[in-house]
Amino acid sequence: MNTLQIGKRFAQLRNELACPGEPTWSQARLADETGLTPNQIARLEQAGAGSIEAFVRLLNFYHGHGYSMSWLLLPDNTHSSKMALTETSKSLEANAVLEMLGKLKQLVVKEVDSLCVQVAS
């Protein structure tokens, strides 16, 4: 894996951390959030260089914010999701789908009952 490529991905993710309407995160803010120095963040983003401890700390920070380690580290990440799908998020998505299907079932049953009444009349 090209360390420059990882550095660019780190910088890209930093720019995505801001909430809508919020300014992008600076390297200084990321440093404050991770316990690293702004120089360490700059080295990691610009050259993919720095200590293994700083690298792992930044990886853990992004992982904790829901980003996929595969997307960050694989040379060809075109088939990897940027966001990590955890078992919790899969369960939440499944629950949402089940809820929507339940509502659809209620609507269908109501329509079928209405049609049965009309046909019987």
Average pLDDT per 10 consecutive residues for the chain, totaling 121 residues:
89 92 94 97 94 94 91 87 65 64 81 86 81
> Angle of helix 3-16 relative to helix 38-47, nearest 10 degrees?
120
> What is the structure's pLDDT at 92?
52
Number of other residues whose CB lies within 10 A of the CB of residue 82: 15
List Cβ neighbours of 70 (8 Å cut-off, separation of 6 or more): 77, 80, 81
Q: What pLDDT, on the 0 to 100 scale, is given for residue 1?
A: 61
Q: DSSP 3-state assignment of 117? A: helix
φ and ψ at residue 83, rounded to 5 degrees: -95, 140
Q: What is the pLDDT of residue 112?
A: 83
State how far the Cα of 25 lies from the Cα of 65, in Å rounded to an integer.
Answer: 14
Nearest to 1 by CA among 55, 48, 44: 48
Q: Given this model, what pLDDT does residue 51 score? A: 93
- Rounded to 5°, the CA angle 6-41-84 comes to 50
Q: Read off the tokens for 118.
A: 């009309």
| Residue 86 pLDDT | 59
Q: What residue spans define the domains of the chain? A: 3-73, 85-121
18 contacts: CB under 8 Å, gap ≥ 6: 24, 25
What's the pLDDT at 58?
96
Q: What is the structure's pLDDT at 93?
A: 58
Q: What is the pLDDT of residue 12?
A: 94
Q: Which CATH number fits domain 3-73: 3.90.79.10, 3.40.50.2300, 1.10.260.40, 1.20.120.140?
A: 1.10.260.40
Q: What is the pTM of this model?
A: 0.67
Gyration radius from the chain CA atoms: 23
The pLDDT, as a whole number, for residue 10 is: 96
